[in-house]
Amino acid sequence: MLEIRVCAYCKRSLSKIDIESGNAFYQEGGKVVCGNCLAGQTKNEEPCDENEYALESILREVKNINRTLTYEPATWLTILASVIQCFVFGSLVFAYLHRNGDVHSYLLLALIFQVMALTFFVVKK
């Protein structure tokens, strides 16, 4: 499991390598302090609260997730498949509204539209 550690004073992210190499140290209470803060360079700040630590970790993780998202360009086949998905929904609505009549033709039409949409969605992959 990924454990995110942040310096209690300057809130700088600390990796496991930093702690193993001696650039960061554990203090009493489970707080982690980087080498710069321990040397007194940023010692005038107060230690951060546990809630701030958790919120900072969550914010950093969300930013990392946002950076790793990739967007695919829209092709005409995906747009066509999206439009066909709307026809599927319409066919199902017509089948529900005319459930006392010929439902099978509307359901068959919805099935054909759905297969076409799925085909257009995966044709380039």
Using alpha carbons, select from 3, 1, 6 the residue that is nearest to residue 50.
Answer: 6
Choosing from 68, 86, 108, the residue where a domain stops is 68
* Domain tally, the chain: 2
**Digit-coded pLDDT (tens) for 56-111:** 778 878 877 766 666 667 788 888 889 999 999 999 998 889 888 888 888 999 99
Angle between helices 76-97 and 103-122 (to 10 degrees): 160
Q: What is the pLDDT of residue 88?
A: 92
State whether 14 and 48 are in the same domain.
yes
DSSP 8-state symbol, 14: E
User: What is the domain range of residue 95?
Assistant: 76-122
Q: What is the pLDDT of residue 120?
A: 86
Site of tokens 């499991």:
1
State whether 58 and 91 are in the same domain.
no
Taking CA atoms, 96 is separated from 86, 93, 105, in Å, by: 15, 5, 12
State whether 26 and 56 are in the same domain.
yes
State whether 42 and 80 are in the same domain.
no
Q: How, if at all, do strands 5-6 and 24-26 pair?
A: unpaired
State whether 42 and 96 are in the same domain.
no
